[in-house]
Amino acid sequence: MAPPSDESRPRLATGTRWAAQSTGGSDESRMILFPEGAIKLQGTGRQVLERCDGQRTFGEILADLQKEFGKTDPEKIRADISTFLEQLQRKRIVDY
């Protein structure tokens, strides 16, 4: 158990997927579905997970979002996103 490293490529775990926009979504929110559950995502959570495509590295995702939230302390952004992904990894919703 460890937070994602900068070189890792976070992705939705096998069996986790985005719901069709017509299922429980709206313009602001989107839903991810996984065994026995679902999470509605909006705001930052959605922005993070939409970038977890298994292509981009965690470092790239971070740099991208730190630019987006320019006014917030970059280290705080790193800590928040890192914790968020680590929690989802424990639940086997995200892999990295």
Partner 1 sequence: MHFSPLALIAELTHRCPLHCVYCSNPMQMAAVADELATEEWISVFRQAGKLGMLHAHFTGGEPLARADLTELIAAARAAGLYTNLITSGLGLNEERLHRLVEAGLDHIQISFQDSREDSANWIAGAKAHTHKIELSRAIRKQKIAFTVNLVVHRQNLDHLEEMINFIEQLEPERMEIAHTQYYGWALANRAALMPTRTQLERAVAIIAEAEKRLAGRIRIDSVVPDYYAKYPKACMGGWGRRLMLVNPSGKVLPCHAAEVLPGLPFENVRQKSLEWIWQESMSFRKFRGEEWMPEPCRTCERRGEDFGGCRCQAFLLTGDDKATDPACSLAPAHHLVEAAVLQENSDPAIVRPQPASSFVQLRKKTEELWSYRTNPE
Helices 74-90 and 58-68, packing angle to 10 deg: 130
User: Judged by CB under 8 A, does residue 23 bind partner 1?
Assistant: yes
Pick the binder of partner 1 from 5, 6, 7, 24 (CB under 8 A).
24
User: Judged by CB under 8 A, does residue 54 bind partner 1?
Assistant: no
- Sheet order of strands, 37-41 included: 17-18, 30-34, 37-41
CB 65 within 8 A of CB 56: no
User: Judged by CB under 8 A, does residue 83 bind partner 1?
Assistant: no
- 13-21, 42-50, 52-60, 64-72 -> range binding partner 1 (CB under 8 A): 13-21
